[in-house]
Amino acid sequence: MRTLTLPQASLFGALAAAMLATRYFHFGVPPLFLPDASLAIFFLAGLYLRRAAYFPALLIMAGVIDYLAIAVGGVSDWCFSPAYWFLIPTYAGLWFGGRLCAANHGLALQPLLRLAVALFIAGNLAFIISNGSFYLFSDRYTDLSWMEYAQAVAKYYAPYMASAFIYTGLALLAQWALSNQKGVLQWDGFRGK
């Protein structure tokens, strides 16, 4: 029987589809929509995709989706300020966190623990960069001290990290399901080169 491989382009397509499905409504997060998967998408792209060109492609896609959400979808532009540019290092940290795990990635306990630690560190770094830059460069919080702002955004930390871990867990579950297809299907995205 021939083995069917899941190429990098298919992996990128799956991540892009997840971004399209979740990012458009992430500003308001109405109860009928899924939470934004962008944090997990950039981490998983670093983990699974070998070509660095996928990173700017995902960045551009995120920016276009945000633009369309505001220009066409009527979503508030309150989050857009000079701080928006700091999403580049925010997502780069997640991408590199995934890259660090790519070479030794697997579904055994030790690689999964390493992956969880990398996601935890990258997610915290992303939270600090995105929220810190918004405080410093958005001019939206001129009357709040740094401590008052930190207390105000602390309520977003748990959902921020939870969504990254849940989506990453779902991707790992998909990896496990595909890898247990008795040799019929191989996932070509885990070689980390």
pLDDT digits (tens, 9 = 90+) for 90-129: 999 999 999 999 887 777 888 899 999 999 999 999 999 9
Burial 83-92 (b: 16+ CB within 10 A, else e): bbebbeebbb
Lowest mean pLDDT among 1-5, 6-10, 12-16, 159-163: 1-5
The 3-state DSSP class for residue 6 equals strand
pLDDT, residue 70, reads: 87
In whole angstroms, give the CA distance from residue 182 to residue 65. 38
DSSP-derived letter for residue 95 is H
How many CB atoms are closer than 10 A to CB 159? 12
Given a contact cutoff of 8 angstroms between Cβ atoms, the answer to whether 161 and 117 are in contact is: no
For residue 60, the one-letter residue type is I
pTM value? 0.86
> Which among 110, 95, 4, 89 has a CA at the least distance from the CA of 48?
95
Please report which confidence band the pLDDT of residue 191 belongs to, taking 50, 70 and 90 as the band edges: very low
* Residue 57 dihedral angles phi and psi, to the nearest 5°: -65, -40
Residue 154, CB-side half-sphere exposure with 13 Å CA sphere = 7
Average pLDDT along the chain:
85
